[in-house]
Chain A
Amino acid sequence: MELFGIWVAAFLTLCIYSFLYRDNPFYRFAEHLFVGISVGYGIVIAIHQGVIPLAWEPLSEAVSALWTEITGETTPEIRSALWGLFKIIPIAFGLLFFARLSPRHNWLVRYPIAILIGFGAGIAIPNMLQANIFEQTRATIEPFGAIGPFVDVPPEARLSALDIFGAILMVIGVICTLTYFFFSVEHRGPINWLSKVGIAFLMIGFGAAFGNTVMGRLALMIHRVGFLINEWIGSFGALF
């Protein structure tokens, strides 16, 4: 089975690489199979890691607890399991997504969408404030707390000249990048200069991101070619 798996993976890898020559039936087969398999995988994970543990199991436990409660045997555990009945509400809202399939009732799909949008917006505000605004601002300013001899820090914790240069450059970069995205004033005079420096920082950032992406993709390609040479061609010995 392992050998068969290697051959299947090698066949699909070669099918996809055949696109480098030109679009062809092998590539189209692999591409469509990939879409189908990925969607199927997503469905299975959504059911087994979302619907079953979060909705189905608490609800079925609550229903059996309710039955026990009706028959008269009640304990604190049974009472707490009854809270699972409230899972009917999100399940009902979730089922409203199926209204999309009916042209007459498809407006009902707005209910679960509105809940998810409100839920996401409500989570985003405190999290964005905390993780992205306060923390990023703190991290930008924090190194200045370790610049001696003006502050009371042990000599070994003081920043080197290169670190101080980096900290100053970081503040300049952040301010200039933000200025570039600040459209409430016309970019003229000093604002224009700050925004031009911001563009320079952005270009270095994009270049670094591009370089990292190229290297990441190349690493993946090396891994796939390594698989073909070592595992697939290596498996020829077991066959012939």
Chain B
Amino acid sequence: MKRQVPLALCFLFGIAMILTQFSPHSYSQAVYREVIVWGLIISPFALVLAVATLAQTHVSRIRFRSEHWQYSIVVFVGMITMVCVGVPFGPKNSVFEWLYDNVQVPMDATMFSLLAFFIASAAFRAFRARAFEATLLLIAAMIVMLGNVPVGDLFWNKLLSLIPGSDNPESWVNSFADGASRFRQWILDIPNGAARRGIILGVSLGVISQSIRIILGIERSYLGGGD
């Protein structure tokens, strides 16, 4: 009951999703759509676990007066404000939208932009060309960054203009104009594309094998410990 039923449910839902996706019959497609809706209905309830864990952590911080416990109150104020405004009045409510536009979005963007500073120090460590592989990483990153900004092409075209005969519009030199952005695109499309494709193929084969193990009940770690 505690382990066999969940394993059976996992098997049934897994097999149902596989079979209905491969079958074009209208009944099969109706089952497929219904099971997807069931999954979408169940998954928001999983948020309960996340919120319960978050609340548990911050309640205990407040109760035991841990260091910086006052900020845990700020977490609850933010969460309760959004829930009190959003749940009864909906996400289209003007106050909810105001909070989203003027509190959440700016903080989200600023948090991520903060990484620009830390990534710069990480870049300094990563870009020290101590080995052949590190040099490749450095060159690829430099080309991509230079090709992303107009100054890259400006610098490249300036270099091209130093070649004799480049002022002639018919010159072969002009076919290499805007080379920084073009080379960046080539790096993104070909060597980067090949590496990503290799990773995607490997990851997908891993996901498929792991999914088969889960459906067949070989992989049971999601059930947790205990009986």
Chain A residues within CB distance 8 Å of chain B: 1, 5-6, 8-9, 12-13, 16-17, 19-20, 28-51, 54-55, 86-87, 89-91, 93-95, 97-98, 100-101, 107, 109-129, 132-133, 136-137, 139-140, 166, 169-178, 180-181, 198-215, 217-218, 220-221, 223-224, 227
Contacts and interface: CB of A to CB of B under 8 A. Distances in A.
A166 B186 contact: yes
A180 B11 CA distance: 33
Interface string B101-119: 1111011111111111101
Contacts of A180: 198
Contact of A118 (B12, B52, B186, B202): B12
Interface stretch (B132-140, B155-163, B165-173): B132-140
B141 A210 contact: yes
Contact of B224 (A33, A110, A137, A178): A110
B140 A36 contact: no
B197 A174 contact: yes
A166 B187 CA distance: 10
A192 to B, nearest CB: 15
A136 B143 CA distance: 26
Interface residues of B, number: 124
Contacts of A205: 140, 191-192, 194-196, 199
Contacts of A173: 190-191, 193-195, 197-198
Nearest to A176: B198
B90 A221 contact: no
B225 to A, nearest CB: 11
Contacts of A214: 116, 119-120, 123, 141, 145
Contacts of B197: 136, 139-140, 170, 173-174, 177
Contact of B103 (A6, A9, A98, A139): A9
B103 to A, nearest CB: 6
Given A9-B106, A30-B107, A177-B199, A46 B47 contact: yes
Contact residues of A: prevailing secondary structure: helix
Nearest to B103: A37
B113 A217 contact: yes
Contacts, number: 389
Nearest to B143: A211
27 contacts: A9-B106, A17-B110, A36-B79, A37-B81, A43-B86, A48-B91, A51-B41, A51-B44, A90-B41, A110-B6, A113-B223, A115-B39, A122-B21, A123-B36, A124-B208, A140-B197, A172-B194, A177-B197, A200-B132, A201-B191, A201-B195, A201-B198, A203-B136, A205-B192, A212-B144, A214-B120, A218-B116
B133 A122 contact: no
Contacts of B107: 12-13, 16, 30, 33-34, 37
A162 B76 CA distance: 58
A70 B119 CA distance: 66
A115 B188 CA distance: 39
B100 to A, nearest CB: 7
A39 B54 contact: yes
Contacts of B2: 107, 110
A113 B6 contact: yes
Contacts of A136: 197, 200-201, 204
B82 interface: yes
A211 B54 contact: no
A186 to B, nearest CB: 18
B55 to A, nearest CB: 9
A141 B55 CA distance: 52
A210 B133 contact: no
B211 A124 contact: yes
Residue of A121, A180, A200 with most chain B CB atoms under a 10 A cut-off:
A121
Contacts of A30: 107
A117 B10 contact: yes
Nearest to A4: B102
A32 B14 contact: no
B204 A133 contact: yes
A122 B106 contact: no
Residue of A120, A122, A139, A215 with most chain B CB atoms under a 10 A cut-off:
A122
A117 B83 contact: no
A16 B103 CA distance: 12
